[in-house]
Amino acid sequence: MAGRNLANAVIKFCRLLRAEGVGVTPSESVDALRALGCLDLGDRNEVYWGLRAVLTAGPEDIPIFDRLFAEFWSLANSTPPEFLGGPVSPAESSDDSEPQGGLPQKAQVLALQEWLGEPEADTEPTGMPSVSDREAFLEKDFSTFTPDQLDEIVRLVVQIARKLASRLSRRRRPTTKRGRVDLRRTMRRNLTRGEMIDLSFRERKRQKIRLVVLCDVSGSMDLYSRFLLQFLFALQHAFGRVETFAFSTRLTHITPHLRGRSYLWALRNLRAVRDWSGGTKIGESLATFNREHGARLLDRRTIVLILSDGWDTGEPALLERELRQIRRRAGRLIWLNPLLGSSNYEPLTRGMSTALPYLDTFAPAHNLASLRNLARHLHL
């Protein structure tokens, strides 16, 4: 298992625990990733106790955890698992690329490599899931997809994005085509006639809105980042006006990377995001956006989407100030949080509790159904 991405290994381990009956929730999987960021990965005992503290709920879970830990992480005598990478040396980590609480730099570098694999051709999958599969996929949490299911949902994501882009406004405009009768204009045109002859019609007009999307790609979002990026890739091709940014400890404009001919092509280009799977400084990232892009992109016809779990390591006062500025300029501010799909989730983190007063909409983004439901919020 040499060379595996640490984050993906934790996700797979959590899936094994769930399959054996251990109640590991998506939020606990995120906690496990965060815990490993604070541990010495060369010390297998430290890794064992750290994961056990987070992923077991009672004595009945411990025998299952011990067995799966020994099998999955290949514990053997004094040799640490190869794909843990041993202790992180100063050369592999710096304040610039691995903020406090983030994953080791080696995991950051491999975060996208695991997704790319070795495809035979740079094309999207051609298979279509059945109707029953599509219905199951809609309600399935992103964190529970198996590797062989990942590419099957690409087309469903594209369909959802196209439906969002085709959403019509509530206002209507005159039209020469048949549609809903415009009673006011019909009466006005026929005032001098004895009976109504000419009917006037009206139709809904498309909203000319701009989407600005800011997506959290920090370590705590690793369970969901791949699926949300598929969604952002589809949005980029479905909407006429959309600008997309990724952030962890810094902001990166990724719109040019998402305009490629395929999602796999986009993934290769997204390796330009330097602090992938790092820490999270939402306030500083929003400050960069407001300073460098806000005046150009934000107006009353703009809807801002923030996709993040709200785990912010920065100052709450900075986050509050920058959100207030976005809210004042934009027509609508929507925050999508994958953890909100969990029944026991409460927005108690500093970042999330600071953000809530400035949001028009706070909604989940943990499965395809939640992304489809975004349509009801995309209006001004």
- The CATH number of residue 160's host domain is 3.40.50.410
Q: Which of 256, 321, 313, 257 lies closest to 289 in space, CA to CA? A: 321
As a whole number of angstroms, the distance between CA 249 and CA 280 comes to 5
* 3 state SS of 335: strand
Last residue of a domain, one of 205, 229, 255: 205
Please give the pLDDT value at position 102: 39
Instruction: Give the strand pairing for 168-175 and 201-206.
Output: antiparallel
- When pLDDT is averaged across residues 198-218 and rounded to a whole number, the result is 75
d(CA 154, CA 170): 30
Q: Let me know if residue 1 belongs to a domain.
A: no
pLDDT of residue 194: 58
Domain final residue, candidates 34, 59, 87: 87
Using pLDDT thresholds of 50, 70 and 90, give the confidence band for residue 78: very low
Same domain (yes/no): 16, 150: no
Q: 203 versus 54: which is more confidently predicted?
A: 54
Neighbour-count burial of 176, counting CB atoms closer than 10 A to its CB (0-12 exposed, 13-18 middle, 19+ buried): exposed
Lowest mean pLDDT segment, chosen from 104-108, 109-113, 193-197, 316-320: 104-108
pLDDT of residue 175 exceeding 50, the answer is yes
Whether residue 141 is found in the same domain as residue 229: yes
CA-to-CA separations, 158 to 99, 153, 372, in angstroms, rounded: 34, 9, 11
Asked if 121 and 253 sit in the same domain, the reply is yes
Return the DSSP state at 79: B
Quick check: 226 and 368 in contact, CB under 8 A?
Answer: no
Contact 125, 337 (CB under 8 A): no
| Beta strands, E only, 221-313 | 242-247, 251-253, 302-307
> What distance, in Å, lies between the first and last C-alpha atoms of the chain?
50
In the predicted model, is pLDDT for residue 340 greater than 60? yes
Identify the helix (H) or strand (E) that includes residue 180.
Answer: strand 180-181
pLDDT at 120: 38
Contact 218/280 with Cβ under 8 angstroms?
yes
Cα 379-248-224 angle, rounded to 5 deg: 65
Confidence of residue 251 (pLDDT cuts 50, 70, 90): very high
Paired strand residues for 337: 364
Q: Is the pLDDT of residue 52 over 90?
A: no
- Residue 232, in any domain of the structure: yes
Q: For the ranges 10-14, 148-152, 269-273, 278-282, which has the lowest average pLDDT?
A: 148-152
What is the percentage of the chain residues whose pLDDT exceeds 70? 69
Structural domain range at position 76: 6-87
Looking at residue 299, its amino acid is D
pTM for the full predicted model: 0.64
Q: Residue 1: what pLDDT?
A: 37
Amino acid at site 321: R
Give the contacts of 85 (CB within 8 A, at least 6 positions apart): 6, 41, 104, 106, 107
Kindly report which listed range (64-68, 143-147, 339-343) carries the lowest average pLDDT score.
143-147
The residue to which tokens 């969002």 are assigned: 164
Q: Are strands 201-206 and 251-253 parallel, antiparallel or unpaired?
A: unpaired
Owner of token pair 């004895």: 194
Q: Are 284 and 314 in contact (CB under 8 A)?
A: yes
Looking at the structure, tell me whether residues 82 and 160 fall in a common domain: no
Per the document, the length of the chain is 380
Mean pLDDT, residues 242-246 taken together:
94
Query: CB of 309 within 8 A of CB of 337?
Result: yes
pLDDT at 70 over 50: yes
Judge if 152 and 181 occupy the same domain: no
Smallest Cα–Cα separation from 153: which of 377, 322, 368, 351?
368
**E strand or H helix at 202:** strand 201-206
221 within domain boundaries = yes
Same domain, 51 and 102: no
Provide the CB-side half-sphere exposure for 138 (13 A, CA).
Answer: 11
Cβ neighbours of residue 314 closer than 8 Å, sequence gap 6 or more: 280, 281, 282, 283, 284, 351
Is pLDDT of 188 > 80?
no
* In a shared domain, residues 113 and 231: yes
| Domains identified in the chain, total number | 3
Domain co-membership, 231 together with 331? yes
- Please indicate, yes or no, whether residues 25 and 141 belong to a single structural domain of this protein: no
Domain boundary among 47, 64, 87: 87
The H or E element spanning position 168 is strand 168-175
159 Cβ partners below 8 Å, 6+ apart? none
Nearest alpha carbon to residue 113 among 37, 226, 31, 28:
226
Task: Report the pLDDT averaged over residues 106-115.
Answer: 44
**Closest to 151 (Cα-Cα) out of 133, 120, 127:** 127
One domain for residues 323 and 360: yes
Better-predicted residue by pLDDT, 75 or 39: 39
Task: Answer whether residue 155 shows pLDDT above 50.
Answer: yes
If asked whether residues 305 and 192 sit together in one domain, one would say no
Least confident of 3-17, 34-48, 78-92: 78-92
Confidence grade of residue 95 (pLDDT, cut at 50, 70, 90) = very low
Range from 57-66, 99-108, 170-179 that averages highest in pLDDT = 57-66
The answer to whether residues 244 and 297 touch, using CB atoms and an 8 Å cutoff, is: no
Residues 80 and 218 in one domain: no
Quote the pLDDT of residue 176: 53
What pLDDT is stored for residue 18 in this prediction? 85
Mean pLDDT of the chain: 75
